[in-house]
Structure formats: structure tokens, C-alpha cells
């Protein structure tokens, strides 16, 4: 999917199928462990979208995953990017991701499109899942463009389980929308709405009257997800789950003055100035926390908060989870108060 994420996920380091190697040098900090996988296939899936098929050594099973999961790709240009798994979760031998070329991106998608070739080996971290499909008898899925990638395995699973589900899938045009062929077999459960044919998505019309017992999953560009949050404002709490391509840009940190972070396991206290991340500050104190995206979207650096008031700046936690204040993503999140105590 888009350079990102992604969107919600579990936050443990990965061990590998092909002999885990610890990769370093993807930016700063400690990168999540990764396995080396081979690009077995690379094919165009839509305008500007290529699909990668990744495999381990012959016959080697890959780590299991569930719909909504993503993997980290350590790309030829040295960047690490997160992409949603969009293949068959029951195929233990291969992962599939699809990557949209982003001309204004930070270079990750260009590396996939222009540098990565069939036969190349790349580091793959994960899978992790910040966007899990929770049990429900009814699902409404809304995808915008490449946001179809995490939702495609959800659709497959919901259908296998016999749930009542529908998908609204928008994009600029049909030729820009990946996996229409795989969705065609679901008939009128899938509403395909390219913007050049039908205009903006009719979210209220698709969602209908607010009601309980429905789970709504959405992935796509920020304007779509913002519109989804507005459209679902009157629905029961926790109905809507979204996955953003990039961490939403908060207006600014809650404070611009230094704060202290106490590392409870060692008793060390480090000062975090306005130009440093908590992740970097604790690393300088000798405590390496696994990280990957360093932008609050992958979930790798999740850290338990023992006391203090975190200034959450990630794209992962729900409002409810933020209010609980018992964990934070220290690559981006900061402190509202003078002191945080972390379980490090
Ligand atoms: S490293 Fe990805 S959320 Fe912190």
C-alpha cells in the first residue's frame, strides 16, 4: 500500500523464517528484526500500482498473519516502508503487497517501482497487525485507491465466515484501482465507484442509519478517512476503524520545552529537548527500543507508560486508547507534563 502506516498493528519485533537477521541502518535507532525474502514476482496491478510476491527459501513457511497486517520492507535505497499484506492469508509460502507510486513521496515507492527486481532479496520485518478484523456479523468496508490492500483480505475472510458485508471502493478511475478482477466475483456486495464516473463517494448513502452490531473499516487517503470520521460521528463508539497511509500531522506538540523521561527498569532519567524524540533520547542513554517507521504508523516502538501524560502523535491509537494513557509510540509521541515514567 501507500508509504506509511499503517496502520494500527501489534508491536513486537519479528523473528524470521529464513534465519532472522537484525538489520541496522534504516535511518537511526534500532530497526525491527527482519528476514531476507526473495522477490518472486513483480507485476503491474493498476496504473501506478505494482504487486510484489515475496518468498523465503524453497518450501520454507512464512510467519502467519491475519487480515489488516502489514510488513516492513527494507528497500534498496535504504528506506524502510510498511505495506499491507493483501494476498491469501492461508498461503504459508508467500506474501503479497501492492505499492502505489507516489511522485511526491519520500522515495520508498519509487525504490519499489524502479529498483526492486524479480530475484532480489530484501529484508522483511513483521507481519504486525494494528488494524485487526474483530468478530462481527456485519461489516461495511470503505476503500480509497490503494487503501484496498488491507481490506481485500478482510473481505475474503468476512465472506468465508458467512458475515453480512459490503464494500465501497473508490478511486480516480477504474484503471487506477487494483484488484477489481478479484472483487468481481462478489457481485453486488462490492460497489465500485471511480470518481471520473460517479464523483465523490456517497458515504452516508452507503453507511445508512447509525446502528449497533456493525463494524466499519476504512482505509484510504486522509480526506476520505476524515470524511468517514464525520460520517460515523453518530454511530456507536468503536464502530469505525481506520488505517491511515501516513501519521496525521498534529497541530504541534503540546509543549515546546524539555521534559524528563524516567526509565523505570534502570532508574535513569533522560532529558528530552524539543528537537529530539523520546526514542533517540533513550537510545543515547543506552536503551535500544525496536523501531521501524519512526513516524508513528507501524507500531514497532510501542512502550508502556507507567506514569505521566503522553502527548500522542501517532496514527495508531484510538481516542479511547489515548485516553487510557498506558502506552505510547516513542518515535513520535512526547509528553504534556514535566515527566514521563516508561517501562524501559
Ligand atoms: S517506529 Fe513505527 S510507530 Fe514508532
User: Which single residue is written with the C-alpha cell 525491527?
Assistant: 32
* Contact by Cβ (8 Å): 2, 100: yes
Helix (H, G, I), strand (E, B) or coil at 224: helix
Q: Is the pLDDT of residue 28 over 70?
A: no
C-alpha span between 249 and 83 (Å, rounded): 20
CATH class held by domain 30-127: mainly beta
**Kind of pairing between the strands at 70-74 and 121-128:** antiparallel
* Contact by Cβ (8 Å): 140, 114: no
Displacement of CA 180 from its chain's centroid (Å): 22
Q: What pLDDT, on the 0 to 100 scale, is given for residue 23? A: 27
> 259-342 has which CATH code?
3.10.20.30
Main-chain phi, psi angles of 111, to 5 degrees? -65, -40
What integer is the mean pLDDT of 28-41? 72
Peptide bond into 127 cis (omega under 30): yes
User: Which single residue is written with the C-alpha cell 460517479?
Assistant: 198
Q: Measured in angstroms, how far is the CA atom of residue 329 from the centroid of ligand 1?
A: 6
Sign of the alpha-carbon dihedral angle for 61, 21, 291, 14: positive
304 contacts: CB under 8 Å, gap ≥ 6: 326, 327, 342, 343
C-alpha span between 98 and 87 (Å, rounded): 9
**Ligand 1 pocket mutation pick from 299, 303, 321, 330 by most atoms within 8 angstroms of CB:** 299
pLDDT tens sequence across 123-180: 998 898 989 999 999 999 999 999 999 999 999 999 999 999 999 999 999 999 999 9
Strand partners, 125: 72
pLDDT tens sequence across 235-288: 998 899 998 776 545 556 778 899 999 999 999 999 999 999 999 999 999 999
Q: What is the pTM of this model?
A: 0.77
Give the position, in ligand 1's atom list, of the atom nearest the Cα of 296: 3
Q: What pLDDT, on the 0 to 100 scale, is given for residue 255? A: 80
Q: Is the pLDDT of residue 26 over 60?
A: no
Q: What pLDDT, on the 0 to 100 scale, is given for residue 231? A: 97
Strand partners, 41: 53
Which residue in 24, 54, 20, 17 sits closest to 39, CA to CA?
54
pLDDT tens sequence across 71-108: 999 988 888 888 999 999 999 999 999 999 988 777 88
Size of the chain, expressed as the number of residues it contains:
344
* Contact by Cβ (8 Å): 289, 279: yes
Cell of 154: 478482510
What integer is the mean pLDDT of 113-129? 94
All CATH 2.40.30.10 domain ranges in the chain, comma separated: 30-127
Whether 331 lines ligand 1, by a CB cut-off of 6 Å, is yes
CATH T-level assignment (fold) for domain 138-244: Rossmann fold (3.40.50)
* Contact by Cβ (8 Å): 46, 175: yes
Give the position, in ligand 1's atom list, of the atom nearest the Cα of 330: 4
Q: Which tops the pLDDT comparison, 239 or 22?
A: 239
Q: What pLDDT, on the 0 to 100 scale, is given for residue 250? A: 53
The mean predicted confidence, pLDDT, of the chain is: 87
Q: What pLDDT, on the 0 to 100 scale, is given for residue 20? A: 23
Q: What angle do CA 125, 126, 128 make, to 5 degrees?
A: 145
User: Which single residue is written with the C-alpha cell 500522542?
Assistant: 312
Whether 31 lines ligand 1, by a CB cut-off of 6 Å, is no
Exposure string for 284-299, b = 16+ CB within 10 A, e = fewer: ebebebbbbbbbbbbb
Q: What pLDDT, on the 0 to 100 scale, is given for residue 322? A: 85
Q: Which tops the pLDDT comparison, 5 or 130?
A: 130
Whether 294 lines ligand 1, by a CB cut-off of 6 Å, is yes
What integer is the mean pLDDT of 299-326? 89
pLDDT tens sequence across 314-332: 888 877 788 888 999 999 9
Whether 291 lines ligand 1, by a CB cut-off of 6 Å, is yes
All CATH 3.40.50.80 domain ranges in the chain, comma separated: 138-244
Which residue in 126, 171, 172 sits closest to 151, CA to CA?
171
Residue 70's pLDDT band, with cuts at 50, 70 and 90, is: very high
All CATH 3.10.20.30 domain ranges in the chain, comma separated: 259-342
Main-chain phi, psi angles of 336, to 5 degrees? -85, -30
Radius of gyration of the chain measured on its C-alpha atoms: 20
**Which uninterrupted H or E stretch holds 225?**
helix 222-231
Q: What pLDDT, on the 0 to 100 scale, is given for residue 191? A: 98
- Which residue intervals of 165-202 are DSSP H helices? 180-183, 195-198
Q: Is the pLDDT of residue 31 over 70?
A: no
Whether 283 lines ligand 1, by a CB cut-off of 6 Å, is no
C-alpha span between 146 and 221 (Å, rounded): 9
Residue 33's pLDDT band, with cuts at 50, 70 and 90, is: low
Give the position, in ligand 1's atom list, of the atom nearest the Cα of 332: 4
Residue 183's pLDDT band, with cuts at 50, 70 and 90, is: very high
Whether 5 lines ligand 1, by a CB cut-off of 6 Å, is no
Q: Identify the burial level of 150 via C-beta atoms within 10 angstroms of its C-beta, where 0-12 means exposed, 13-18 middle and 19 or more buried.
A: buried
Give the position, in ligand 1's atom list, of the atom nearest the Cα of 301: 4
Give the position, in ligand 1's atom list, of the atom nearest the Cα of 292: 1
Amino acid at each position: 500500500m501507500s508509504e506509511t502506516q499503517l496502520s494500527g498493528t501489534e508491536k513486537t519485533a519479528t523473528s524470521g523464517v529464513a534465519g532472522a537477521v537484525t538489520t541496522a541502518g534504516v535511518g537511526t535507532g534500532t530497526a525491527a528484526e527482519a528476514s531476507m525474502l526473495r522477490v518472486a514476482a513483480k507485476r503491474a496491478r493498476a496504473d501506478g500500482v505494482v504487486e510484489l510476491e515475496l518468498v523465503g527459501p524453497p518450501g520454507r513457511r512464512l510467519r502467519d498473519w491475519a487480515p489488516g497486517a502489514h510488513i516492513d520492507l527494507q528497500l534498496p535505497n535504504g528506506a524502510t516502508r510498511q505495506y499491507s499484506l493483501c494476498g491469501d492469508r492461508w498461503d504459508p509460502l508467500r506474501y503479497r503487497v501492492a505499492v502505489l507510486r507516489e511522485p511526491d513521496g519520500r522515495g520508498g515507492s519509487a525504490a519499489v517501482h524502479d529498483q526492486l527486481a524479480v530475484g532480489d532479496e530484501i529484508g522483511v520485518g513483521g507481519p504486525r497487525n494494528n488494524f485487526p478484523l474483530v468478530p462481527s456479523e456485519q461489516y461495511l468496508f470503505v476503500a480509497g485507491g490503494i487503501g484496498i490492500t488491507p481490506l481485500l483480505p478482510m473481505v475474503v475472510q468476512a465472506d468465508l465466515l458467512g458475515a453480512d458485508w459490503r464494500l465501497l471502493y473508490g478511486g480516480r478511475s477504474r484503471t487506477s484501482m487494483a484488484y477489481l478482477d478479484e472483487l468481481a466475483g462478489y457481485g453486488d456486495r462490492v460497489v465500485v465507484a471511480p470518481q471520473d464516473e460517479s464523483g465523490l463517494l456517497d458515504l452516508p448513502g452507503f453507511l445508512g442509519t447509525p446502528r449497533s452490531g456493525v463494524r466499519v473499516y476504512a482505509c484510504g487517503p486522509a480526506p476520505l478517512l476524515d470524511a468517514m470520521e464525520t460520517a460515523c460521528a453518530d454511530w456507536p463508539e468503536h464502530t469505525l476503524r481506520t488505517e491511515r497511509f501516513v501519521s496525521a500531522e498534529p497541530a504541534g506538540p503540546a509543549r515546546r520545552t524539555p521534559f524528563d523521561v524516567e526509565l523505570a527498569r534502570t532508574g535513569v532519567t533522560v532529558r528530552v529537548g524539543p528537537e529530539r524524540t523520546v526514542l533517540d533520547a533513550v537510545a543515547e542513554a543506552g536503551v535500544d527500543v525496536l523501531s521501524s517507521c519512526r513516524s508513528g504508523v507501524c507500531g514497532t516502538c510501542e512502550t508502556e507508560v507507567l506514569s505521566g501524560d503522553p502527548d500522542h502523535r501517532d496514527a495508531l491509537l484510538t481516542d479511547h486508547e489515548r485516553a487510557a494513557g498506558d502506552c505510547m509510540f516513542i518515535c513520535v509521541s512526547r509528553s504534556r507534563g514535566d515527566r514521563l515514567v516508561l517501562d524501559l
